Structure 1
Amino acid sequence: MKPFPAQAKVRQIRYGQWAEWLMLFGSTLFIYLANGAIISSNDSVPSSLLAFNWLENHTLHFDAFRGGHYYMPNDIFGQNGIPYFFTESPTGHLTSAYPIGTALLSFPLYALFFLYLKLSAILQHQPLGLDITNPAFEPQRQFYEKLAGAILAALTNVIFYLLARLKFDRSISLLITFIYGFATLNWAVSSQGLWAHTLSNLALVCILLCLWKANRLEGESLSHRRKTMLVTAGFFSGLLPAIRPTGLLFLAAILVYVVVTYRRETLFFLIGGLSFLFNSAWNIYYFGFSLRVLIVGGYSSLFQHSSTYDWTLNYFNTAFWGYLISPSRGLLIFSPVLLFSIPGWYQVYKRRSQTDERLLILLGIACLVLFIQYCFYVPWWGAITYGSRFLVDFLPVLCYPIAYVLAHLLNQLEQSRKRVSVLLVSVFLLLTVYSTFVQVVGAFSDRHIWDTSPYFSVDRLWNWQDNQISRHTKNLLLKFNDPIPRPRVYRRQLDGVIEKIQTQNGQLIPEGITVRPSQEIILQAQLKNTGKAQWFGYDTGLRRGRAIVKVQFFDRDQQRIPNSTPNLLFVQGTPRPGEATKAMGAIVFPQQPGTYQMVFTLGLERMGNFPPDTRPVKLIVQVTQSALGPQSFEDENCFQLLIYKS
């Protein structure tokens, strides 16, 4: 029996919608994966392993990883080499130092990955067992983390688009979704790994969509669907603190909105909100019962030796402007198109009597409170990252109001074609193009090409000449114009001399130094290019082939001491043959007390050492718990260095 014309039209519309959503999801996912690179952090190791560990080893404990390849000497966060992302709980089990919300929401994907790995093993006649503790599994872990992050970020984009379609036409919805997905750190950060920010954004847009859908389901005939939406919104809301403890502020804002808007029906939201118990039960089991542990869980182990906040006005002022306009962390530097969120919020405020906009305003207030909190948080810069990673959680709330501005400007253009509107639209498009370019640079350039070379310092975040965007841009351009097309020939032409080793402030290091165990000190080496080829320093943006000074430690038996950090000095500039330069870097000394030989060797990153006839420089190092020398001073980063003459 053929369907009625009206039914056929409804089906056609539904098929068209699904096709549109799938195209949006597929194209977004393709772009997120196009760089083929792993841009993530060890923060996500527990979240990317928990599902595999439970499905393969049938346990939620990470005891099998104790003493494994993740354990590193000189780890500044834990004792006995425990990596910072794991922690020993009072139960005697090794567990995650991070909340489990990210692992919970991503579990369905990882279950599919697990089934795929098992099926592949069967088809290839290989053993079914997965040894996820083996270092050989690490590339697979990183690959599936990258894939999971890209899939979840692409899904978030689709849901954000559906959210926009509730209030705006297709063109505005597509444009604002493009801005959200490709003109902000969603591309260069969220989509590149299993970050907590990735899942936080997914949960937030799901909550917005469910509650705004519920606002449109009135009447007895739609009450069942309305209640379902409230339960679903409650489920994602309950997981917000489980993803990031700061999500508690978003949860509070959403709960206020639900109570005021839905009154008795709040019960259905609270039923869904029982998902909060997942994280609470986890934290109570592993870390005991207290109000603080109930929320932060293993996070407390990351900062047990120091305060995580600096409540001074000076620190607030630095962090406030750093978050907004610092050249290497500023939100408005990396995504200046977000400036249009300011007039967007004015448009939202004018509609404050409407149900949808009230939720947006409450979430905006939550973002403001959280931003103020972040301005006292140490470290406000978010460690090693591209841009201001902490503010990624705000992006759904910051991007959506821009759609109101677009609708207003386009309406003015259609009615009167005011020159001001034309100018504003032109500025908007230029800022969108620039913001997207910055994300392209972050996604396709080498990771951490700026943060750690020559060394990380808060002062460098304000360096406008050699900032993160410019360095990564140089790195990306050099991928199309490699200055070292023939590495073997280039290496044979190299030669150089390490003339002297100094501290950061220029004080010469004589025959030996005495340091504390695991002490980190910024050193510099004075060099001279005595070869026939030009050197390429860290500030050129080059990664493969840039000149470095490798620093290694050897014990009395001439056995090399492994270290959790690269221990490199990075050459500055592009010295030609006969020219002098310097190399700088942060060096972490051995963890165990004793006498060591510290060897400085000229080399090329990812291309080996200089020719064998290039002589290294050797110093004797005494690692001790007590000061031995009569002379002491502190460098600019407050790491004490004691010098003595042998």
Structure 2
Amino acid sequence: MATAAITAHVHSQAISTPAFRRIRARDVAIALLLGLLCLLVYNANMRSITAADSYAARYLPFSIWQNHSLTLNPILTTVAQGRKPPATPEKDGTAHWILKVGGDRYVSKFPIAVPVILSPFYLPAVIYLNHHGADPLLFDQVARIMEKLCASSLAAVSVGLLYLLLRRRTDEGLAAILSLLYAFGTTTWVISSQALWMHGLAQLLVVATMLLLTGPGTALRVVLAGLLCALIAANRQPDTILAAGLGIYGLWWAGRMRPFFVLSGMVPVALTLAYNLMIVGNIAGAYALHVRPGDFNHDIVGGIAGLLVSPTRGLFVYSPFLLFVPIFCRRVVLERSGRGLTIAIGCAMIVQVSFYAMIDWRQGISWGPRWLTDMLPMLMWMLPPVVKALSRNGRVAFGLASLVAISIQTIGAFWYTGIADTPIVTAHGPGRMRPAWDIHNAAFVAELSHPHVQADLIVDLDGNIDAVNVLPVGQGTGGGAGRQLEVLGWALTNSHSPSDVAVLIDGQWGAATREFFARTDVEKAMGHASPAGWRVTIPIDQVGPGEHLLAVLVRATEGGEPRLMKQTSFVLAPHNEALEHVTDLPSAGRRARQILASHQQAGGYWLTSYTSATRFEQPRQEMNTYLNAVMLDVAGPVAEAAGASDMLARARQFLAAQIEPSGLVRYHGRPDAPTIGTLGCAITPDSDDTALAWRVAPSEKSELLQPALAMITQFRRPDGLYKTWLAPRDNYQCLDPGRDANPADIGIQMHIFLFLEQVDKPAARSLCDALSKKAGDDDIWVYYAGAPLMISLRLAELEKAGCLPQLPRAQLRTDIPGQEIWLRAADQLGQLESHAGSYATYRRTAELLTDIAADDFSLMSHTPPLLYHNDLTATVKRFYWSQDFGYALWLRLYFENERMLSTLPCGSGGPEQKCGEK
């Protein structure tokens, strides 16, 4: 139907002279000036805004010249950037942008039109590197500079060509204004000009094809138009839709020369198919091998809305002046000049948006509406008749919308780091799209929370990995820690200390440091006095024996691009140093401490396991602040006796660091933590974890306490209880709330009471009174209705503080198999702390400890303590367990029992009891 409309219109055009203006020398001069201006502005931030999508395009042109290869094999280490390529075609590596295909070939997951077309422009850089040697750090530096220069040049040329295209249907002034809007008010700036995404070349090809199609249909133009039109599809498969719209119009425009149009278009198509079949081994290309069911979106209407008006990915949000196109679409279609082309590309854009709506439209970690970048020249083509028809007020509105667009893109160019996208792309489940509709997650809002990113395009990186040592149990950080990997080295960026150094093992995050110390040997060799030495330790008890890849990434500036400094391999022998077997209670205590130390992560935290049912089967892991706070609570009183002081100090330091400038704490820690996206998400701050952290690991910045208290108080209910989430419902992040979107849970009230007891006793008394009135109500048993262990432990602490809420006895029991023994442990601990000790109590406690420690604590492997669960009225049920908490509780009970024994008078155990006997 669309084809018929085009044919009917263009037939009338064939009778008369086309209405398009001819391009003059003056227009070419202005286009050159606009392109030069854009080139300067695009490089003003002196940094790249890149992603894994562009790694192959960054390095492959060098390999084409030097190795005459389109595969990544000769440059695999560099393209992987410290991650691990896939070992087989069926398995993904941590370098997800690389695919392994038949014959041990590694290829880019993305089409290679960009690096192939740009390779001629890399010749000067190749000659430079050949002259200066093959140092990997120099190669990487030159490649990054070339990427930025090529990307910004592609975008700048597309601006100049767009001006020439617009001159065919409007005057110089409006064409120049719209060209500048395209340059600085759209993702042309933050996406296309900053890295070698496929979008920059796509825009250039689209605008060049349109420029040809609006000119006279000479033989040369027809051949070029067919070639460029097909290249649009070869460059990026989804743009086949846009190429089809241009191609339909081009077939009419070419007239009798349409065979030349078709034949020239077959050249890039044939070359692409040859690459796909001969190298990739799949006619559809490498990307088709990577499609998963989770990549699709079944809410088409929601997808269209997300692509166009969502605050994080909406085209009309990031470039609001483009909204004038659909609003005045009637005026666009009625414009006689180029109506056939307008209808063709309009239909193509509608189809492409609909296609994208069927996919996960969050678009990964990238700035704004990246996917719709390629159609921007088409939208700009439609604007001249709209702007001309605007009233005075309409032009004012258009001007304001344009200023907003330029302001938003400016934020992206100078502030964007990608951190703001983490809560968007890490969300899962039925509500996974919800964070994309949160205005607080919009990059132009969230990224302003930090200073603008300093220039880091030209970085002279020096450094080395000096030693990789496997530390035996007890010799690593924390004293009693399990086996750790110690990595020593030095790094300098532009002769100064870097922002940070990160170490990866097999492409997975290991640890990082921001602390650097003086290295006299480096100072003498390099002639610079900046601290360059660094040391990182990584727990490796979970790393299997054999050879492993170790990579060091360095960032020159905060928020800058990580650079691969060096990588090496190390061999990990089988762990012959077995854990001590349990033969008696003292040996059980040593084993428990040893396991706790080995489980503690390099950052000082322990991980929590969770399941989807009340059975400890197929557990998954996450990092949360809750477990680490209660670990400090439980093990803290016996830390010295248990030999756990060092590890608890590290946990306390970690927990204190999770207190944000607002004074609040999030369940998964700070949103910029390295664990976000893998072991948690950027969740909304909550009163529970804020109270827990401040109670056991208060921040050194005491001025943050009052804002935290004020925020918690702000969410106090009229009945005196405190809500969980410290944000309005519309601002929730990474949450799947239940029937009550913001409940006041009994366990949380206990934690807040214990916190207030330290900092605001009157408020604590008020909360105790409120809790006593509501303790039996079902609506406050949200997270502990089937997991009473923590409640039982907290009751003893509340009693010490003089708060005695009467809880229903039924709520303190559980029917979950294996949990009764942990409730007995909590009761026994309460008896020990009641100062009513006896030898009988000691013997009962020792028997319980023996039962838990039996068979080397085998109980932990199948029934560890169940600490809590999520709101069971939510769409997904989760139950949270911790073996480490079980070991900590065992140590607490054991050493409290020994302490009680030491206070008992001789002979109180009966006539057979002798002084000193147990």
Q: Does TM-score exceed 0.5, indicating one fold?
A: yes
Question: Contact conserved, 1:504 with 1:524, CA < 8 A, in 2?
Answer: no
Q: Say what the alpha-carbon RMSD is for the aligned residues.
A: 4.4
Question: Contact conserved, 1:337 with 1:431, CA < 8 A, in 2?
Answer: yes
Q: Which residue of 2 aligns with 1:227?
A: 219
Q: Over residues 29-49 of structure 1, what are the superposed CA-to-partner deviations in whole Å (9 max), with x where a residue is unaligned?
A: 011111112201111111222
In the aligned structure 1, how far is the partner of 2:251 from the partner of 2:607? 64
Q: Which residue of 1 aligns with 2:43?
A: 33
Query: How far does residue 428 in structure 1 lie from its aligned partner after superposition?
Result: 0.7
TM-score (norm 1): 0.69
Question: Contact conserved, 2:185 with 2:405, CA < 8 A, in 1?
Answer: yes
* Larger relative contact order (CA 8 Å, sep ≥ 6): 1
Kindly indicate whether residue 270 of structure 2 is the aligned counterpart of residue 270 of structure 1: no
In the aligned structure 2, how far is the partner of 1:145 from the partner of 1:85? 17
Question: Contact conserved, 1:549 with 1:571, CA < 8 A, in 2?
Answer: no
1:81 partner letter: G
1:450 partner letter: A
Q: Which residue of 1 aligns with 2:852?
A: none
Query: How far does residue 139 in structure 1 lie from its aligned partner after superposition?
Result: 3.4
Q: Which residue of 2 aligns with 1:510?
A: none
Q: 1:241 aligns with which of 220, 230, 233?
A: 233
Query: How far does residue 263 in structure 1 lie from its aligned partner after superposition?
Result: 3.1
Identity in percent: 23
Kindly indicate whether residue 93 of structure 2 is the aligned counterpart of residue 81 of structure 1: yes
In the aligned structure 2, how far is the partner of 1:115 from the partner of 1:14? 38
Question: Contact conserved, 1:504 with 1:523, CA < 8 A, in 2?
Answer: no
Q: Which residue of 2 aligns with 1:298?
A: 286
**Change over 3 Å in CA distance of 1:59–1:629 after alignment to 2:** farther
Q: Which residue of 1 aligns with 2:19?
A: none
Q: 2:211 aligns with which of 209, 212, 225?
A: 209
What are the equivalent positions in structure 2 for 1:197-596 lying under 5 Å apart?
Answer: 197-214=199-216, 226-273=218-265, 274-288=267-281, 293-294=282-283, 296-303=284-291, 305-306=292-293, 308-310=295-297, 312=298, 315-351=299-335, 354=337, 356-377=338-359, 379-409=360-390, 421-452=391-422, 456-457=426-427, 458-476=433-451, 521=622, 523-525=624-626, 535-536=660-661, 577=702, 579=705
Structure 1 gaps, min length 5: 1-12, 216-225, 410-420, 480-486, 492-497, 508-512, 541-545, 553-563, 587-626
Q: Which residue of 2 aligns with 1:102?
A: 114
Query: How far does residue 348 in structure 1 lie from its aligned partner after superposition?
Result: 2.8
Query: How far does residue 370 in structure 1 lie from its aligned partner after superposition?
Result: 1.0
2:142 partner letter: Q
Which structure would you say has the larger Rg? Answer: 2
Question: Contact conserved, 2:63 with 2:75, CA < 8 A, in 1?
Answer: no
SS of the residue 1:54 aligns to: helix
- Greater displacement, 395-404 / 524-533: 524-533
Q: Over residues 415-471 of structure 1, what are the superposed CA-to-partner deviations in whole Å (9 max), with x where a residue is unaligned?
A: xxxxxx111111111110011000000111041131126983332212234532211
2:81 partner letter: Y
Query: How far does residue 258 in structure 1 lie from its aligned partner after superposition?
Result: 2.4
SS of the residue 2:420 aligns to: coil
**Change over 3 Å in CA distance of 1:258–1:520 after alignment to 2:** farther
Question: Contact conserved, 1:453 with 1:538, CA < 8 A, in 2?
Answer: no
What are the equivalent positions in structure 2 for 1:50-199 lying under 5 Å apart?
Answer: 50-66=60-76, 69-70=80-81, 72=83, 79=91, 81=93, 83-118=95-130, 121=131, 126-127=132-133, 130=134, 134=136, 137-199=139-201
**Change over 3 Å in CA distance of 1:567–1:257 after alignment to 2:** same
Q: Over residues 381-402 of structure 1, what are the superposed CA-to-partner deviations in whole Å (9 max), with x where a residue is unaligned?
A: 1011111211112211112211
Query: How far does residue 114 in structure 1 lie from its aligned partner after superposition?
Result: 2.5
1:113 partner letter: A
**Change over 3 Å in CA distance of 1:113–1:538 after alignment to 2:** farther
Q: Which residue of 2 aligns with 1:484?
A: none
**Change over 3 Å in CA distance of 1:548–1:145 after alignment to 2:** closer
Question: Contact conserved, 1:159 with 1:206, CA < 8 A, in 2?
Answer: yes
In the aligned structure 2, how far is the partner of 1:551 from the partner of 1:346? 50
**Change over 3 Å in CA distance of 1:50–1:65 after alignment to 2:** closer
2:332 partner letter: V
In the aligned structure 1, how far is the partner of 2:90 from the partner of 2:364? 17
Query: How far does residue 185 in structure 1 lie from its aligned partner after superposition?
Result: 1.0
In the aligned structure 2, how far is the partner of 1:476 from the partner of 1:114? 36
Question: Contact conserved, 1:547 with 1:571, CA < 8 A, in 2?
Answer: no
In the aligned structure 2, how far is the partner of 1:427 from the partner of 1:80? 49
- Greater displacement, 75-84 / 440-449: 75-84
Question: Contact conserved, 2:34 with 2:160, CA < 8 A, in 1?
Answer: yes
1:160 partner letter: L
SS of the residue 1:94 aligns to: strand
Structure 2 gaps, min length 5: 1-22, 428-432, 455-498, 500-514, 516-602, 630-651, 691-698, 710-724, 727-731, 735-860, 887-918
Q: Over residues 319-345 of structure 1, what are the superposed CA-to-partner deviations in whole Å (9 max), with x where a residue is unaligned?
A: 122112211111111111111112453
Query: How far does residue 363 in structure 1 lie from its aligned partner after superposition?
Result: 1.1
**Change over 3 Å in CA distance of 1:522–1:437 after alignment to 2:** farther
Query: How far does residue 163 in structure 1 lie from its aligned partner after superposition?
Result: 0.2
Q: Over residues 144-167 of structure 1, what are the superposed CA-to-partner deviations in whole Å (9 max), with x where a residue is unaligned?
A: 212211110001000001101111
Kindly indicate whether residue 16 of structure 2 is the aligned counterpart of residue 46 of structure 1: no
SS of the residue 1:81 aligns to: coil
SS of the residue 1:460 aligns to: helix
**Change over 3 Å in CA distance of 1:639–1:243 after alignment to 2:** farther
In the aligned structure 2, how far is the partner of 1:98 from the partner of 1:265? 33
In the aligned structure 2, how far is the partner of 1:638 from the partner of 1:237? 47
Query: How far does residue 642 in structure 1 lie from its aligned partner after superposition?
Result: 6.1
Q: Over residues 37-74 of structure 1, what are the superposed CA-to-partner deviations in whole Å (9 max), with x where a residue is unaligned?
A: 22011111112222111101222222234466535259
**Change over 3 Å in CA distance of 1:210–1:386 after alignment to 2:** same
2:65 partner letter: L
In the aligned structure 2, how far is the partner of 1:43 from the partner of 1:204? 21
In the aligned structure 1, how far is the partner of 2:364 from the partner of 2:675? 23
Aligned residues: 515
TM-score (norm 2): 0.50
In the aligned structure 1, how far is the partner of 2:250 from the partner of 2:442? 44
Q: Which residue of 2 aligns with 1:23?
A: 33
2:442 partner letter: N
Query: How far does residue 537 in structure 1 lie from its aligned partner after superposition?
Result: 6.4
In the aligned structure 1, how far is the partner of 2:128 from the partner of 2:664? 43
Question: Contact conserved, 2:85 with 2:98, CA < 8 A, in 1?
Answer: no
In the aligned structure 1, how far is the partner of 2:300 from the partner of 2:387? 33
Question: Contact conserved, 2:183 with 2:189, CA < 8 A, in 1?
Answer: yes
**Change over 3 Å in CA distance of 1:364–1:550 after alignment to 2:** closer
**Change over 3 Å in CA distance of 1:339–1:259 after alignment to 2:** same
1:238 partner letter: A
1:309 partner letter: F
In the aligned structure 2, how far is the partner of 1:206 from the partner of 1:306? 36
Query: How far does residue 641 in structure 1 lie from its aligned partner after superposition?
Result: 6.9
Query: How far does residue 346 in structure 1 lie from its aligned partner after superposition?
Result: 2.1
- Greater displacement, 636-645 / 47-56: 636-645
